[in-house]
């Protein structure tokens, strides 16, 4: 089933999937949209329905639902301490469904379930919008929301040591009315206000998301931030 609120261009591309062979690079997207966080692996096996990659886990999470994309490796930076690749993620080709000790498994043509996050930042007459989707995974969803909000605040000209933030909005849960958010992060505290605002919003989201009595899915997060 396709996730509600999916971003345009997120539908799997059969053409891109056909180009993926053993030795190709593929990426698992934890955050996608105006901000992207991805993990990249090398494909080891492909058949008409699925592929295996990495040869090791990436999150050690077992069952997952993460967008799978074709990927272009731009450069490899060799280092005995921490070698890594610089990549460009490409078209969506399916979804990763398993993150196991021996490999990660992706299903070609499948769609991952993501949580839409919409952030509007206002300050000094300017407005900036950040729209992303974050992974739906108990171990990382709250952290992904924190990183997204923090980056959204840093990428404005109003992000200074003297800036305070007023965050309002809601978290939409299946079967419940929207749960409101209303919090302040003041300049001059021990922690930068941008980080405080992101951590407070992440804590409120985590209380709902990790609540053992929650039965329905999280449909989305809508935030409005006033920079003061």
Verdict on whether the full-model pTM lies above 0.95: no
Per-residue model confidence (pLDDT) at position 13: 86
Tell me: the pLDDT tens digits for 130-170?
999 999 998 899 999 999 999 999 876 666 778 899 999 99
As a whole number of Å, the CA-based R_g of the chain is 19
Token pair, residue 1, equals: 């089933």
Is residue 96 within 8 Å of residue 64, measured between CB atoms? yes
Contacts with 226 (C-beta within 8 Å, 6 or more apart), sequence order: 122, 123, 165, 166, 167, 168
Q: Does residue 9 surpass a pLDDT of 70?
A: no
User: Averaging pLDDT over each range in 30-34, 81-85, 160-164, which range is the top one?
Assistant: 30-34
Whole-number average pLDDT of the chain: 90
For residue 2, name the pLDDT band (cuts at 50, 70, 90): very low
- Given a contact cutoff of 8 angstroms between Cβ atoms, the answer to whether 209 and 217 are in contact is no
């Amino acid at each position: 089933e396709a996730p509600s609120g999916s971003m345009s261009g997120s539908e799997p591309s059969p053409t891109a999937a056909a180009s993926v062979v053993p030795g190709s690079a593929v990426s698992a997207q934890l955050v996608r949209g105006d901000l992207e966080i991805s993990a990249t692996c090398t494909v080891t096996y492909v058949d008409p329905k699925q592929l295996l990659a990495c040869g090791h886990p990436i999150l050690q999470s077992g069952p997952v639902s993460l967008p799978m994309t074709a990927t272009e490796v731009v450069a490899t930076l060799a280092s005995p301490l921490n070698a890594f690749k610089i990549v460009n993620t490409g078209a969506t080709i399916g979804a990763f469904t398993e993150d196991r000790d021996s490999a990660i498994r992706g299903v070609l043509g499948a769609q991952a379930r993501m949580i839409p996050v919409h952030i509007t930042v206002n300050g000094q007459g300017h407005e900036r919008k950040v729209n992303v989707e974050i992974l739906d995974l108990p171990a990382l969803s709250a952290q992904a929301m924190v990183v997204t909000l923090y980056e959204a605040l840093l990428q404005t000209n109003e992000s200074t040591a003297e800036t305070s933030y007023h965050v309002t909005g809601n978290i939409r849960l299946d079967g419940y009315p929207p749960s409101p958010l209303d919090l302040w992060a003041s300049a001059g505290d021990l922690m930068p206000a941008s980080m405080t605002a992101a951590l407070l919003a992440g804590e409120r989201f985590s209380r709902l998301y990790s609540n053992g009595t929650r039965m329905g899915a999280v449909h989305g997060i809508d935030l409005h931030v006033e920079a003061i």
